[in-house]
Every structure is written in C-alpha cells, then in structure tokens.
Amino acid sequence: MNTLFDRIETFFKGLSSPQDMPHDEHELHLAIAALLLEVMQVDDSEQPEERQAVISALEHHFHLAADEIHALLERAARQRDQASDYHRFTSLINRHLDAAQKARLLEQLWRVAYADRQLDKYEEHLIRKLADLLHLPHQVFITRKHRAQDKASD
C-alpha cells in the first residue's frame, strides 16, 4: 500500500527545491510542522529536547535534510503565527491522512511534550484538543500518550 508518507518520502528523494513540491503535500508538511511547533511552545518554555523531538519527527516522517527541516520550521512558524485556530491545520491533515497515520502523528505530538520529561498541563490540553480535531477516539489518545511516555522514560 502506497501511503501518503511513502509518496512524500519518494518525492523528497528527488526534490530539487521546495517550490517543486505539489501544493497539497507542501501544505501538509507545513500543517504537521506547525502542530509540532505549537506543542513545543504552548507552555511558553521551549526546551532544546523538545526542539530536537520536533526535528526528529520531521526527519522520521519526511526524511528531510537539516537545511530542509530548518526552512520548513521557519515557514511553519510563520503559518502558525498567522493562524487564528488549529482548524486550518487539522482539516488539511484530516483530508490527507488515514486514522493510523493520524495516530502516529498524535504519538509524535506526545513525544514532543514528553521530550523534556515534564508534561505540562497546557501541552496535555492542546494534544487532547488536537486529537478531537483529528477525529481520533479517546482510546487512541491514551494509548499513544502511554507509548510516548514509555519511550521518554527509556
């Protein structure tokens, strides 16, 4: 089965510049990066471990080089700052990712929150809200939370 992540990975292997990316895939990358950044910054305390968790998530899912990740994060930060709510990002993700892919994304959001080994109440509230906007059931919310928590304590 050729998933969107597989197509994105294949695309990036032959990528010459960000302008060459199809619009929807580019917007999907920005949406995912913006949500990862939002979790990192929601508690008004950006920790180096959280930034590394965001970078690792983007490397893992999109197989980007360091300069591509840096550029993506800059664009995503601008998009995030301009957005009035999360619907702009979650609606795009809902259109392009299936339930399993959204569950993996949710786990990445949890990993960012747990990266500094402290789960802030604002981080948990935001991830709960995003899980609802991504139409993920509470069981997935809890399961992915525990998986990320277990990995953080390894």
Q: What is the pLDDT of residues 92-147, one digit of tens each?
A: 999 999 999 999 999 999 999 999 998 999 999 999 999 999 999 999 999 999 99
Between CA 89 and CA 55 the distance in angstroms is 18
What is the domain partition of the chain in residue ranges?
4-152
pLDDT at 26: 83
pLDDT at 95: 94
Between CA 120 and CA 123 the distance in angstroms is 5
Decide if pLDDT at 43 tops 50: yes
pLDDT at 98: 95
Go through the chain and tell me how many residues it has.
154
pLDDT at 128: 98
CA 152 to chain centroid, in Å, comes to 17
Percentage of the chain beyond pLDDT 90 is 66
pLDDT at 7: 52
Domain 4-152 has CATH 1.10.3680.10: yes
What does the pLDDT look like over 61-99, one tens digit per residue?
888 888 999 999 999 999 988 888 999 999 999 999 999
Helix ranges restricted to H, 18-86: 23-41, 48-62, 66-82
